[in-house]
């Protein structure tokens, strides 16, 4: 039986890495001019694709590591460092600026029908950080299939929160404002930094044993 703390840790790691609230202004920006039904269609499609991508890496993550000859503990250290870099960007506001620039570039190059795929599903929702976190979490408990099943539910729940944030995007954007989003993103960044450090510590300990 897996401890509740491990499930909670997985939830917060994915929640903070994906950052549903931080995606709201980007979603609003790339769906300008759409009707409510069109926005809902884009939101559902983007979240469905992102969920599929993360589950794919959850299932195939261990296979990828084995094929490349990378140990689980080494990946924990590397993944922890990558998540720490993302946390650093969140705390100093760099990540949000980069996401907004990417979304502006995408909207000028891609047809509106493809917005759900790029930039929303990839790389905004299922980005490098979320993919790395998913593979990292899948390696816990010796990559037991029961644990992966729990992670599928956790991923689904987090993606569900993203969908809710997209549906309520205009309301959230109105009441949070730039200041509220900035404060929340930085607080989540600090939390992610602590979680990433713990991943590195656990990985180093295991490598030294």
pLDDT score at 64: 81
Q: Residue 122 — very low, low, confident or very high, per pLDDT cuts 50/70/90?
A: confident
- In this prediction the pTM is 0.79
Nearest to 131, CA basis, from 84, 96, 82: 82
pLDDT digits (tens, 9 = 90+) for 158-183: 999 999 999 998 887 778 777 887 78
Neighbours of 189 (CB within 10 A): 21
In this prediction, residues 174-194 reach a mean pLDDT of: 80
Note the pLDDT of residue 109.
43
* Of 5, 6, 18, 11, the residue nearest 95 (C-alpha): 18
- CATH code of the domain occupying 4-208: 1.20.1250
Residue 1 has what pLDDT?
55
- In the predicted structure, residue 36 carries a pLDDT above the cut 90: no
* DSSP codes of every residue in 88-122: HHHHTTHHHHHHHHHHHHHHHHS-GGGTIIIIIII
pLDDT in tens, 19-34: 898 888 888 877 877 8
pLDDT of 76 reads 81
The confidence band for 101, taking pLDDT boundaries of 50, 70 and 90, is: low
Name the more confident of 158 and 105. 158
């Amino acid at each position: 039986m897996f401890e509740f703390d491990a499930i909670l840790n997985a939830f917060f790691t994915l929640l903070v890495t994906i950052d549903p609230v931080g995606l709201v202004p980007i979603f609003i920006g790339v769906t300008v001019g759409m009707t409510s039904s069109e926005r809902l269609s884009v939101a559902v499609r983007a979240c469905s694709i992102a969920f599929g991508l993360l589950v794919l890496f959850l299932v195939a993550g261990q296979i990828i590591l084995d094929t490349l000859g990378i140990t689980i503990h080494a990946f924990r250290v590397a993944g922890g460092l990558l998540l720490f870099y993302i946390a650093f960007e969140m705390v100093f506001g760099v990540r949000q600026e980069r996401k907004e620039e990417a979304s502006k570039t995408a909207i000028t190059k891609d047809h509106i029908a493809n917005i759900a795929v790029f930039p929303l599903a990839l790389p905004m929702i299922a980005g490098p950080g979320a993919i790395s976190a998913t593979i990292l979490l899948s390696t816990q408990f010796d990559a037991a299939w029961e644990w992966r099943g729990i992670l599928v539910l956790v991923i689904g729940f987090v993606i569900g929160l993203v969908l809710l944030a997209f549906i309520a995007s205009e309301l959230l954007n109105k009441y949070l404002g730039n200041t509220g989003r900035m404060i929340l993103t930085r607080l989540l960044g600090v939390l992610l930094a602590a979680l990433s450090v713990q991943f590195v510590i656990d990985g180093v300990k295991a490598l030294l044993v």
